[in-house]
A and B are shown apart, each in its own frame.
Chain A
Amino acid sequence: MALALDILSWIFLLSGATFAIIAGIGVLRFPDVYTRSHAAGLGDTLATLLVILGLLLQSPDWMVAVKLIMVLAFVWFTSPISGHALVKAAYAHGVKIDCEEEDAVSH
């Protein structure tokens, strides 16, 4: 049983690490600040979720588990705000976006 949990935990940790690496590759490969912010989002969202899930399976007591869940909550609540602030600052500063603005409000 403990072995099964360890294996599951490692699967989560390694897949989380994989997504973090993909996020890094995306930040390097994508052409500008806007596209790169999407790539960076991978590290903040799924990579963090998977690593936390992996760590939850390793937590010795409920207190550590609650703290891990709170860490996930804080990252998920703050990362969209920092991401938004970043692209909004770029947009306000006139960093060019490689497309035209569309209006879909009538949909």
Chain B
Amino acid sequence: MPHRVLHFTATALLLMATWLIWSGHYVFLINTYGVLSVIAVVALGVRLGVVDEEGQPFRLLPRMLLYLPWITWEIVKANWDVAKAIVSPGMPIHQRLVRVKASQKTDLGQVLYANSITITPGTVSLDVRDNTILVHALTQGSYEGLLTGEMDKKVAWLEGEG
């Protein structure tokens, strides 16, 4: 199966690059440890069944470069919102529990959406099932932001053609 060989090789190369970036000591002994570690980790990954397309979504990389600045700005805004709620004497929180649609086609896309919801403070995903996500929202602002569905669309765009 050529796909398996491809994923295997890609994982090994990625791990080796990571080792080289982290190491900084480019001598034979240390690099040998690196190669041995990579082989061990890939072997464990194969046994776990995680060396596959989902484990290396290179396909998403170009759009991810555009998504990251957007989600970072969302995180900054959400932090400001929650920080205000924390330091306000009246602590203006308004908890909501709401089930929203996850229109992504792949599991990976829905995981990205659920994690994007969780990483923006003020909203946290509780449960993912049947193309919906159960979300706990902390403030009125985070609740309304969630219902616009903007993030859902962005992640669906990021995911591209399933």
Interface residues of A (CB under 8 A from B): 19, 22-23, 25-26, 29-30, 34-35, 37-39, 41-42, 44-46, 49, 63, 66-67, 70, 76-77, 79-81, 83-84, 87-88, 91, 97-105, 107
Contact = CB atoms under 8 A, between A and B. Distances in A.
Contacts of A29: 86, 91
Among B22, B124, B132, find the residue whose CB has the most chain A CB atoms closer than 10 A.
Answer: B124
B125 A84 contact: yes
A88 B75 CA distance: 21
Among B76, B78, B118, find the residue whose CB has the most chain A CB atoms closer than 10 A.
Answer: B118
Interface of B: 21-22, 24, 72, 75-76, 78-79, 82-83, 85-87, 91, 93, 95-101, 114-116, 118-127, 132, 134, 136, 138, 147, 149
A34 B100 CA distance: 18
Nearest to A27: B86
Contacts of A67: 21-22
A103 B98 contact: yes
- Secondary structure at chain B's binding surface: helix, strand, loop or mixed? mixed
A34 B72 contact: no
B95 to A, nearest CB: 5
A73 B82 CA distance: 22
B126 A22 contact: no
A91 B127 contact: yes
Contacts of A99: 95-97
Contacts of A79: 119
B133 to A, nearest CB: 10
Contacts of B79: 19, 42, 45-46
Given A22-B87, A26-B86, A35-B138, A104 B97 contact: no
7 tightest A-B CB contacts, nearest first: A80-B118, A46-B79, A26-B86, A41-B121, A80-B115, A80-B119, A38-B138
Contacts of A102: 96-99
B147 A103 contact: no
A9 to B, nearest CB: 18
A87 B146 CA distance: 18
B75 to A, nearest CB: 5
